[in-house]
Chain A
C-alpha cells in the first residue's frame, strides 16, 4: 500500500469542522458541475469548443473564469481571517485552531496573487492584446494552451490541499526554516511548492509567448512607438516575467529538493542558509508586484483616454516611466527585509532606490490626470474604477514611501500597517485595474454591454468597503499588532478588527452586486447589444465586430497612428471610403487537446511529489515527454480559410451588428 499511496492515508483528511465544510463543499460542487455537464450533454461541447481551443480570446475567458472562482475562494479565506480576528481577543480563541488559521492566511495570499491577480492579468492580455496590435493570434497558440492548462493544474492542486493533507502554514512566501522538514514535516508546504511551481512555469511560458507576439505579430505600420500603451505595459511585464520567474522556479526547486532529498540549501543547520532563500524569493517577488500592477496601469491608460475622448497625455513619458519602473524593480528587493541586519549603507541604498520608483509612478498619475484635462469625460463604470484607483493607489503610494525609509520600516515591518499597505496597492492598484479592464472590454468579447447602474453601485461598495477594511489595519499596525495573529490581547484592538470585518462585508456586497450585474446584463442582453464600438474607442480592437470573430481581423489593418481607429473614424466623417475590400486566405491553428493532457501529467507529477507516490511521478514525467514528442512530430497543426470563405464570414459577422 505504501508503494501505491505514498504517505496518503485517512489521517490526511481534514479534522476541524470548518475545514471539513470547505472540503465537502469543494467535492460536492465538483460533483454537481460534472453531473450537470453530463445531464445536459455538454461534455463534448466543452471539450471541443473550450478545452482544446487555441484561440487566445477563449483561453482568456477561461483564465478569467478560473480567476473569478479563485476570487471567491480567496474571499472565503479573507472572511475567515476577519471572523477569527474579530472574535479571538483576550481569552477567546476564535473559530479555528492556530494551525488552521495559519494555513488559511497562507492560502489566502497565495491564491489571491497567483490564481486571482495573475489569472485576471493573463486573461485580459489574452483577450485584448492580439486584437489591439492587429494580430490574428499569439505567436505560439499551442504554447498558450499549455500555459493556461498548467495554470489550471496548479489551481486544482492548491485546492486539493483543502480535501487531503492541508496547506502550508508558512505564509504566502514560505520562509524557511519554518517551511523546512524540521519544522513542517507534513504535505502542506509541498502543496504550496508544487502548485506554484506548475503554475509558475505556465506563467513563464506565457511571458515568452506574449513578448514574441508583441515583437513579431504587430499589424503593418505599427512601429513600437505607435503601439497602444497597454501593449507597452504588457511588453514590459513580459520582460519582467522572463527575468523574474526563472528565479522563482530555481528557488522553489531548491526548497523542494531540501524537502524531498534531504538537501541543505535553506535548512537552519548543515550549512543551509535561510537568508539566501529570502534574498532569492524577493529577487522574484518584488518584480512580481510590478508584473501584477503594470498591466493595470496599461488598462487605465486606455480607459482614461477613451472616456476622456482625448489622446493620452505624454505618451513617450509613459513609455519611459514603464521602463524606469522595470529596471528599478530589480534593484529594490532588499527593502523587504531591512530588519535582517544588513548595514546602514546597504539599507539606505535600497531605501532610496525604492523611493526613486515613486517618481516614474507619480509621473504616470499626473499624466493620467492631464489626460482628463481638456477632455469630455464620460463617467462610465471603467472610468469610475480609475477614479477609485487614484484615491486608493495614492494612499498606498504614500504608505509605501513611508515604509521605504529603513528607520520607519523598523517600526512597521511585518505589522498590520504593512498588510494594509500592500492591500492598498494590490487591490486599489492591480485589482481595480483588472475590474476596469473587464468592464471595458466585456462588450468586445460577448457582444453586449454590462449594466451601468449596478456596476456603479458595485464600484462604490468596493471603494467604501476597501477603506473601512484597511484603514483600521494601518491603525492596528501602529498600535503594535503584527500580521498573522490567530489571537491577541491588545487593548482596543478588537474594535478595529470588528470594523475591518465590516469593511470586508461591504466588499463582499460589492462582489455580490457584480454577480447581479452579470446576471441582469445577460438577461437584458438583447437590449444592450454593443456594436463594434460601444465606447467611441481609439484602438484597433474596436474596429472589429463584437463579439470579436475567431479570426480577429478579416483583413489585416494597416496602422498609421497611435490612436489608429480614432483617426480613421475622424477621416471617415469627412469622406466615405469606397475602396473594395480585398480578402485573403488565412491560416489558423487547429484545436488541440495535447495542452490539457500535458497539464494532467504535470498534475500527476505534482501530486506524486507531494504524497511520495513515486510511480505517479514517473508516469507523469513519461506522459509529459511522450505528449511533447507526439505534438512536435505532428506537422499538420494548421488549417486554411480561403478568401471566398473569409468574405462570407465577414458579411455574416457584420450582419449581427446593429446599424448605428
Chain B
C-alpha cells in the first residue's frame, strides 16, 4: 500500500495546485467569460458550468478506472485474477454505450433549446426600446454607426445599461469576428453580408472587445472598449459627439477605411443614412455611377437591410435564416 501512496500523493498535489492556481486567478483577474456582465453572457456561463459538470460524469470514472486498473493488474501483482482470453461482455458494453448515450441525449435537448434561446439573431425581450448599432470591421479598427442618432464612433462602443442592443455587422476588410466576452456571443463580420447580434449590459462599466478572427497585419490592434453607461450619460455622450465632431462623409469614410491601426477612439456626426448599406452593397453589385452614388442611391430603396442578408441565400447550411 505504501507504493500506491507514493503514486497517488503527487497526483493529488498536482490537482490541488492547479485548483489553487485557478482560484487565485479567478479572484484577482477578470476571467471575462466566467464573470458575465450581461444576460446573454450569464446564460452562456451557466451552460458552460452545466456541461462541464455533466461531462465529469464520464471524466472522473475514466480517470479512476485508469488508476485503479493500472494499479491492480500490474504485472507484479499475482493476487489479481489473470484472464488473458476474456475479450468481451455484452452487458458491460451495453452499460458504456448506454451512459454516454444518456448524457448526450440530455445534452442534445439542452443544445437544441439553448441554440434557439441564445441565437445571436434573436431579439431580446425587454421593456426598454432597443438601441441599433451598425458595426463595420475595417483594416484594423471598428466603426460603430448609430443610425437612429446620427452619430458614429471608431474603437469605442458607447451603450446604455439595461438596454438591448441590436447589432448589424459587416466588414470592409478581410473576415473578422466581433466579440465582447463580458457581454456574450461573437459573430463574424464579413464583406457583402450583414450578420446580426443581440446583447445587453446589466451594469455600467468598461468591457474589452476585440476581433477573434485573423485579418492581416494590424489584427492585434483590432480591439475596442465597450462602455456601458447610464441612459442619461449615454444621451449626453451623443449630444457631445453631435456638437464637437466632424461629419463622416464618403471621403472621410474612405480615409478611415485605409489599412492602418487607430490609436485613440474617433467620433463622428453621420448625416448620410445609407453609409452602412452602401458598404455592404459595394461587394454585391458593380457601382453604377462612381462618386455621385451618394445622392443617387438614396432613391433606390432596395437596400440590404430590407431584404435580410444578401449573399447568404446561396449558401449550403444557411436555410435556417
- Residues of A bordering B, CB below 8 Å: 98-99, 102, 169-171, 175-178, 183, 268-269, 273-276, 279, 308-317, 334, 337, 339-348, 350-352, 355-356, 358-359, 362-363, 365-367, 369-370, 372-379, 387, 390-391, 394-395, 398, 401-402, 404-408, 410-415, 467, 471, 475, 477-480, 482-492, 496
Inter-chain residue pair count (beta carbon < 8 A): 316
Q: Which chain B residue has the least Cβ–Cβ distance from A365? A: B62
Residue in contact with B216 in the complex, picked from A169, A276, A412, CB distance below 8 Å = A169
Residue in contact with B283 in the complex, picked from A268, A478, A491, CB distance below 8 Å = A268
Query: What does DSSP make chain A's interface, helix, strand, loop or mixed?
Result: helix
Q: Which 10 A-B residue pairings sit nearest by Cβ, starting from the closest? A: A343-B320, A492-B29, A410-B185, A178-B174, A348-B115, A311-B87, A480-B181, A414-B212, A374-B83, A366-B96
Evaluate contact between B120 and A341: CB separation under 8 angstroms: yes
Shortest CB-to-CB span from A557 to chain B, Å, is 22
Shortest CB-to-CB span from B35 to chain A, Å, is 9
| Cα distance A489–B224 in the bound complex, in angstroms | 12
Shortest CB-to-CB span from B317 to chain A, Å, is 5
Evaluate contact between B66 and A344: CB separation under 8 angstroms: no
Evaluate contact between A401 and B107: CB separation under 8 angstroms: yes
Q: Please tell me if B164 contacts chain A, counting CB pairs below 8 Å.
A: no
Q: Please tell me if B179 contacts chain A, counting CB pairs below 8 Å.
A: yes
Chain B residues 282 to 300 lying within 8 A of chain A, measured CB to CB, are: 282-283
| Cα distance A48–B80 in the bound complex, in angstroms | 54
Evaluate contact between B41 and A369: CB separation under 8 angstroms: no
| Cα distance A406–B114 in the bound complex, in angstroms | 8
Residue in contact with A402 in the complex, picked from B48, B92, B97, CB distance below 8 Å = B48
Chain B residues 185 to 223 lying within 8 A of chain A, measured CB to CB, are: 185-188, 190-193, 195-196, 208, 210-220, 223
Residue in contact with A362 in the complex, picked from B18, B58, B208, B213, CB distance below 8 Å = B58
- Which one of B148-156, B239-247, B308-316 is at the interface? B308-316
The interface bits of chain B over 154-183 (1 if a CB of A lies within 8 angstroms of the residue's CB, else 0) are: 000000000000000000001101010110
- Residues of B bordering A, CB below 8 Å: 18, 22, 25, 28-34, 41, 43-45, 47-48, 51-52, 55-56, 58-59, 62-63, 65-66, 69-70, 73-75, 80-89, 92-93, 96-97, 100-101, 104, 107-108, 110-112, 114-122, 174-175, 177, 179, 181-182, 184-188, 190-193, 195-196, 208, 210-220, 223, 282-283, 309, 311-312, 314-321
For B216, the chain A residues whose CB sits under 8 A away are 169, 178, 183
Residue in contact with B48 in the complex, picked from A176, A312, A315, A408, CB distance below 8 Å = A408
Evaluate contact between A408 and B115: CB separation under 8 angstroms: no
Evaluate contact between A407 and B283: CB separation under 8 angstroms: no
Residue in contact with B52 in the complex, picked from A268, A398, A414, CB distance below 8 Å = A398
| Cα distance A340–B119 in the bound complex, in angstroms | 12
Evaluate contact between B74 and A401: CB separation under 8 angstroms: no
| Cα distance A337–B195 in the bound complex, in angstroms | 13
For A177, the chain B residues whose CB sits under 8 A away are 174-175, 191
Evaluate contact between A343 and B119: CB separation under 8 angstroms: yes
Shortest CB-to-CB span from A15 to chain B, Å, is 15
| Cα distance A268–B191 in the bound complex, in angstroms | 6
For B110, the chain A residues whose CB sits under 8 A away are 405
Shortest CB-to-CB span from A222 to chain B, Å, is 18
| Cα distance A347–B117 in the bound complex, in angstroms | 12
Shortest CB-to-CB span from B165 to chain A, Å, is 16
Given contacts A348-B111, A366-B96, 20 further A-B contacts (CB under 8 A): A102-B219, A175-B214, A177-B175, A178-B214, A275-B311, A279-B316, A314-B88, A339-B185, A342-B320, A346-B318, A352-B112, A359-B97, A369-B62, A372-B69, A373-B69, A373-B73, A374-B82, A407-B44, A478-B31, A478-B33
Q: Which chain B residue has the least Cβ–Cβ distance from A316? A: B88
Shortest CB-to-CB span from B82 to chain A, Å, is 5
Shortest CB-to-CB span from B273 to chain A, Å, is 23
Evaluate contact between A341 and B187: CB separation under 8 angstroms: yes
Q: Which chain B residue has the least Cβ–Cβ distance from A379? A: B74
Shortest CB-to-CB span from B88 to chain A, Å, is 5
Q: Given A341-B187, A346-B318, A491-B29, is A269 in contact with B282 using a C-beta cutoff of 8 Å? A: yes
| Cα distance A279–B45 in the bound complex, in angstroms | 28
Evaluate contact between B220 and A351: CB separation under 8 angstroms: no
| Cα distance A345–B283 in the bound complex, in angstroms | 28
Shortest CB-to-CB span from A86 to chain B, Å, is 15
| Cα distance A136–B214 in the bound complex, in angstroms | 49
Evaluate contact between A479 and B29: CB separation under 8 angstroms: yes
| Cα distance A410–B196 in the bound complex, in angstroms | 13
Evaluate contact between B311 and A273: CB separation under 8 angstroms: yes
For A408, the chain B residues whose CB sits under 8 A away are 44, 47-48, 51
Evaluate contact between B73 and A374: CB separation under 8 angstroms: yes
Q: Would you give 12 A-B contacts (Cβ < 8 Å), ordered by A?
A: A275-B190, A343-B318, A359-B101, A363-B97, A369-B62, A374-B73, A401-B55, A405-B110, A413-B212, A480-B32, A484-B214, A485-B220
Q: Given A177-B191, A390-B66, is A412 in contact with B33 using a C-beta cutoff of 8 Å? A: yes
For A98, the chain B residues whose CB sits under 8 A away are 217-220
Evaluate contact between B309 and A341: CB separation under 8 angstroms: yes
Evaluate contact between A376 and B30: CB separation under 8 angstroms: no
Q: Given A339-B186, A376-B73, is A475 in contact with B31 using a C-beta cutoff of 8 Å? A: yes
Shortest CB-to-CB span from A284 to chain B, Å, is 15
Evaluate contact between A369 and B108: CB separation under 8 angstroms: no
Q: Which chain A residue has the least Cβ–Cβ distance from B140? A: A98
Q: Given A275-B315, A352-B112, is A359 in contact with B31 using a C-beta cutoff of 8 Å? A: no
| Cα distance A15–B190 in the bound complex, in angstroms | 33
Evaluate contact between A391 and B63: CB separation under 8 angstroms: yes
For A373, the chain B residues whose CB sits under 8 A away are 69, 73
Evaluate contact between A317 and B192: CB separation under 8 angstroms: no
Shortest CB-to-CB span from A225 to chain B, Å, is 13
For A274, the chain B residues whose CB sits under 8 A away are 175, 190-191
| Cα distance A348–B110 in the bound complex, in angstroms | 10
Q: Which chain A residue has the least Cβ–Cβ distance from B218? A: A98
For B181, the chain A residues whose CB sits under 8 A away are 411, 479-480
Residue in contact with A406 in the complex, picked from B88, B115, B210, CB distance below 8 Å = B115
For A491, the chain B residues whose CB sits under 8 A away are 29-30
